[in-house]
Amino acid sequence: MVHQIPLIQKFSEMSEEELLQFCSILYEQDGIKALSYEALSKQGALYYHLYRHGVNQKALIIQLDLQEQYSAYKATMPMMRRGRLSQRWTWEHIVKEATLVKETMGMLPPAAWFQDNGQQSLVQAVYYLGRTWEDLRKELNDFEGSNFVASRNGMRWLSHPEAALSNFLYARGIQHKRGERYPDEYSRHSTAKYAFFDLHFLNINGEWIDVEVWGDKPNGHAEAHYKIKREHKEAYNESNANFLGIHFRECFNEEILAGILEPHIGSIDAFQFDKPTDRLIHSTHWSNADELLEFCRHLVTTMPDGQFPCEGWLRKRGKYKNRPGEVYNTLSIYIKTWLGGIRNLRKLLDQSHVSTIEWDKDSAIAAYQKFYDGHGLTPGQARHITRKGGEVSTKLAAEAARIDNAVLKFAGGSVAVNELLGIVIDKTRRWTREAILDGFQSIISEWKMSPIQLLYEHKTGKTKFPEETYKKTSQMVGAINQQFSGVKEVYEILGFEPPSRPRKRRTKRELNELS
C-alpha cells in the first residue's frame, strides 16, 4: 500500500534520510515526473527542507540513482522557445521524424530538403546534439540496405575514411576501385572464412595496390576482436609487395596521406574539381563537407545580417554568452575539421568580406581612418548614401555598417572619432553632377591627372597639396556613386583617359616579404 503524504509541518521533523525515503514513495506513486522541480515545489515545504539538508533537485535525482529515468523523462517534455511550447529535440525524436519522411518519400532526403520544407529545426538539432547527417543516414540504414558514404566520383564506401581516400585519389586522377575479396587461401591463415580489402588503386607501374584502412573498433566490433582480425590480415599480407595499410585518421590528413602514397603514385597536386568550392576544401574532406556546408548556408539565412556568425557566437562566448538559442560547439569543431575554419567557410559562402576582427577602441578607430582614406567618405556617409538609394555596393555598405557600429560601441561614436582624426563633415555641401564634373575638370586641367590618381599620390607622398584641398577632393570622389554609375562614366563625359602609372617590378626579396 502506498504511504500517505504526511502533514506539511512534519517535514521539519524529518531527517535527510527520511526525506529521501518520502521522495522514493512519491516516485513509486506517480513515477519520475513526481521528482521534477515543479512537482516537488507543490509538496508544501518538502523542497525547502530538502534544500536545507543540501539536497537540491539535481542532487536528489542522483541520490536516488534515477539519472537515466529523469533524462529520458526530460527529453520527452516540451520546452519554451520564443514564448511558445515546442517539442524538445532528442536523437530519438529526430530519428522518429526522419523515419516518417523516409517512409513517405522512399528515402531520406538531403539536409537541404528539410530546410526548404519547414523542418530546418530538425537539421539544426542534428548538429547541436553533436551528430552529423551521415549519422542519421546510418541510423535509418538509408544507403540501399547498408551504411555507405559516397565519394565525389559516385562510388559508395563502408566508412568516411575510405571515402576520404577515394576523394584524394579521384582529385589526382588515380584509378581506383572498391575492395575485392581476399583469395580463398586466406581462410587457412585466419579464424575468419573470408575477408575483403577496403580499396585498390593503380600505382605508377600500372600495378594494383591492395589497401586496408585500419580502424580501432569499427562497426561496433570489440577492440580485442578487431585487434586479432588485423593481426591475421597483416600476417597474411606480409609477403604481399603491393599491400598498403593506412590508419583511418591518416585518411583525413591531406599532407600525411600524400606522403604515404607518394612512393606509389608520385607527388601529384589535386587538379580534378567538380564543384566551385572543391578548391577551397582539402579533397580528403569533400564527403564530410558537402552537407555540413549546406547546413551552414541555411544558418546564414536565419541571421539578421545575413552573415555567417563568428566562433564566439556559435559557442556562446564573450559578448554572446547570453544570446538566445542553441550552442553550436560541435558545429564549430566540424567547421574547423572539415571546412578549414570560419574564415575559409566564409570564402565558401562568398562572404570573404565579412570581418573576423576582434573590435576594441584602437582597431575601430584604425578601421574608420582606413575607410575614410580609401573611399573619401566616412562609414556614416556611406550608410546615408545607401539609405537614400545611392549606388553603394553591398560589400561596401556592409563594411561601413560594421565599422560604424564598432566606433559607436568602443570609441564614443562617429562624431568623437571625426573630431579625433580631424575629419570635417561639410553638411551644407551637396555634390551635384555639375559640381563633380567641374571639380574633375579643374583638377585634370591643373594636374594633368584624375582626382583619384592625385589622392593616391598625396597618400604615398609623391605629391602634397593643402589638407583642405585633399579633404574637398576626397569628398568629391566619395560622392561619385551618388550621381554616376561610376568614375568610368565621368571619364567618358569629360573625354578623359587617365594616364597609366608604370608598374614597378618587385624584387624577389619584396615578393618574399609580401608572402
Quick: pLDDT tens for 39-59.
888 888 888 888 888 888 888
CB of 57 within 8 A of CB of 40? yes
3-state secondary structure of 2: coil
Mean pLDDT across 71-85? 61
d(CA 57, CA 48) in angstroms, rounded, equals 11
Which H or E element spans position 246?
A: strand 243-247
**Ranges assigned E (strand) in 137-293:** 149-150, 156-157, 176-178, 199-202, 208-214, 243-247
pLDDT band for position 389 (50/70/90)?
low
User: Nearest to residue 94, comparing CAs of 106, 117, 79, 111?
Assistant: 111
Specify the pairing of strand 243-247 against strand 208-214.
parallel
d(CA 377, CA 255) in angstroms, rounded, equals 46
How much is the pLDDT for 77? 64
Output the average pLDDT for the chain: 79
pLDDT band for position 357 (50/70/90)?
low
Pinpoint the alpha helices (H) of 376-496: 379-387, 394-410, 414-421, 433-447, 451-460, 467-478, 480-483, 487-494
d(CA 45, CA 40) in angstroms, rounded, equals 9
pLDDT band for position 448 (50/70/90)?
confident
**Greatest CA separation found in the chain?**
106
How much is the pLDDT for 220? 44
- Given the C-alpha cell 594616364, which residue does it identify? 499
User: Nearest to residue 480, comparing CAs of 376, 384, 368?
Assistant: 376
How much is the pLDDT for 209? 96
Mean pLDDT across 69-84? 64
- Given the C-alpha cell 607501374, which residue does it identify? 205
User: Nearest to residue 257, comparing CAs of 293, 285, 280?
Assistant: 285
Backbone phi, psi, residue 149, to 5°: -125, 125
d(CA 460, CA 498) in angstroms, rounded, equals 18
Look at the alpha carbons of 285, 290, 293, 299 in this order and tell me if their dihedral is positive or negative.
Answer: negative
Between the CA atoms of 314, 316, 318 and 321, what dihedral angle is there, to the nearest 10 degrees?
Answer: 150
- Given the C-alpha cell 519522411, which residue does it identify? 101
CB of 235 within 8 A of CB of 290? no
How much is the pLDDT for 358? 63
- Residue-wise over 372-383: b if at least 16 C-beta within 10 A, else e? beebbbbbbbbb
pLDDT in tens, 483-507: 777 788 888 888 888 766 544 444 5
pLDDT band for position 2 (50/70/90)?
very low
CA distances from 379 to 351, 405, 470 (A): 19, 10, 18
pLDDT higher than 60, residue 459: yes
CA distances from 69 to 27, 43, 72, 90 (A): 11, 21, 5, 15
CA distances from 235 to 31, 225, 245, 445 (A): 57, 16, 12, 86
Decide which of 176 and 191 is more confident: 176
d(CA 272, CA 55) in angstroms, rounded, equals 63
d(CA 315, CA 311) in angstroms, rounded, equals 6
Q: Which residues pair with 246 in a beta bridge?
A: 213
pLDDT band for position 81 (50/70/90)?
low
How much is the pLDDT for 332? 82
Q: Which residues pair with 244 in a beta bridge?
A: 211
The fraction of the chain above a pLDDT of 70, given in percent, is 82
pLDDT higher than 80, residue 364: yes
pTM metric for this prediction: 0.41
Within 8 A by CB and 6+ apart from 311, the residues are 317, 332, 342
pLDDT in tens, 265-320: 999 999 998 877 677 678 887 777 776 787 788 788 888 777 888 888 888 888 78
How much is the pLDDT for 257? 93
